[in-house]
Amino acid sequence: MDHAQLAKVALQAAKAEHLEVWIDGHDEAVTRFSDNAINQNVAKVTQTVSLRAAFGQRVGIASTTDTSPEGVIDALHRAEAIARSSAPDEEYMPPPGPQCYPEVQAYDEVTSTLPPTSRAEAVALTARLSAEAGVESSGSYTTGARRLFLANSAGLEACQERSFARFTVSTSAQSGGSGWSEGYSHRASDLDVETLARRAIGKAVTGGAPITIEPGPMTVVLEPAAFGSLMCFITWTLNAKEADEERSAWTGKVGEGIAVPSLSLRSDPLDPRLPGDPMTEDGLAARRVDWIGSGVLRQLAYSRYWAGRQGVEPTGYCENIVIDGGDGGQDLDLIADVEDGILVTRFWYTNFVDEMALSTTGMTRGGLFRIEKGEVTSALTNFRFNDSPLGFLKRIRRMGEPVLTYTEYPETMVCPPAIIDEFHFTSGTSF
Residues 15-24: pLDDT tens digits? 999 999 999 9
Domain around 220: 206-431
Same domain assignment for residues 171 and 231 = no
Residues 6+ apart with CB under 8 A from 413: 228, 231, 274, 320, 321, 322, 323, 404, 405, 407
Using alpha carbons only, what angle is made at residue 293 by residues 288 and 299, rounded to the nearest 5 degrees? 60
Q: Quote the pLDDT of residue 280.
A: 86
Q: How far is the CA of 366 from the CAs of 104, 134, 153, 379, in angstroms?
A: 34, 17, 49, 11
Contact predicate 226/347, CB 8 Å: yes
User: 336 falls in which pLDDT band (50, 70, 90)?
Assistant: very high
Contact predicate 89/304, CB 8 Å: no
**What is the total count of domains within the chain?**
2
**Bigger pLDDT: 363 vs 331:** 363
Same domain assignment for residues 88 and 143 = yes
pLDDT over 90 (residue 431): no
User: 71 falls in which pLDDT band (50, 70, 90)?
Assistant: very high
pLDDT over 80 (residue 1): no
Q: Taken in order 214, 217, 219, 222, is the CA torsion positive or negative?
A: positive
* d(C-alpha 129, C-alpha 133), whole Å: 6
DSSP letters spanning 291-328: EEETTEE---B--HHHHHHHTS-----S-SEEEE---S
Section 149-160 average pLDDT: 94
* d(C-alpha 310, C-alpha 244), whole Å: 10
Q: Quote the pLDDT of residue 314.
A: 95
Q: Quote the pLDDT of residue 340.
A: 98
Section 121-148 average pLDDT: 97
Same domain assignment for residues 171 and 255 = no
Using alpha carbons only, what angle is made at residue 334 by residues 333 and 339, rounded to the nearest 5 degrees? 110
Same domain assignment for residues 150 and 226 = no
Same domain assignment for residues 367 and 399 = yes
Pairing state between β 412-415 and 321-324:
parallel
Same domain assignment for residues 227 and 198 = no
Contact predicate 206/268, CB 8 Å: no
DSSP E strands in 174-294: the ranges are 178-185, 217-222, 264-267, 289-293
- 202-251 pLDDT, tens digit per residue, is 999 999 999 999 999 999 999 999 999 999 999 999 999 999 999 999 99
Contact predicate 55/79, CB 8 Å: no
> What is the average pLDDT value for the chain, to the nearest integer?
95
Same domain assignment for residues 271 and 362 = yes
Strand partners, 180: 170
* d(C-alpha 48, C-alpha 159), whole Å: 15
How much is the pTM?
0.94
Same domain assignment for residues 136 and 198 = yes
pLDDT over 90 (residue 64): yes
Domain boundary among 188, 203, 218: 203
* d(C-alpha 370, C-alpha 392), whole Å: 20
Domain boundary among 203, 225, 251: 203
- 396-406 pLDDT, tens digit per residue, is 999 999 999 98
User: 267 falls in which pLDDT band (50, 70, 90)?
Assistant: very high
pLDDT over 80 (residue 410): no
Domain boundary among 203, 233, 259: 203
pLDDT over 90 (residue 354): yes
Q: Quote the pLDDT of residue 138.
A: 98
Q: Quote the pLDDT of residue 327.
A: 83
pLDDT over 90 (residue 408): no
Same domain assignment for residues 137 and 261 = no
What is the CATH classification number for the domain harbouring 89?
Answer: 3.30.2290.10
User: 430 falls in which pLDDT band (50, 70, 90)?
Assistant: confident
Same domain assignment for residues 161 and 229 = no
Same domain assignment for residues 168 and 213 = no
Same domain assignment for residues 164 and 260 = no
C-alpha 179 chain-centroid distance: 21
- Element (H or E) spanning 161, and its range? strand 157-173
Task: Give percent of the chain with pLDDT exceeding 70.
Answer: 100
- 74-117 pLDDT, tens digit per residue, is 999 999 999 999 999 999 999 999 999 999 999 999 999 999 99
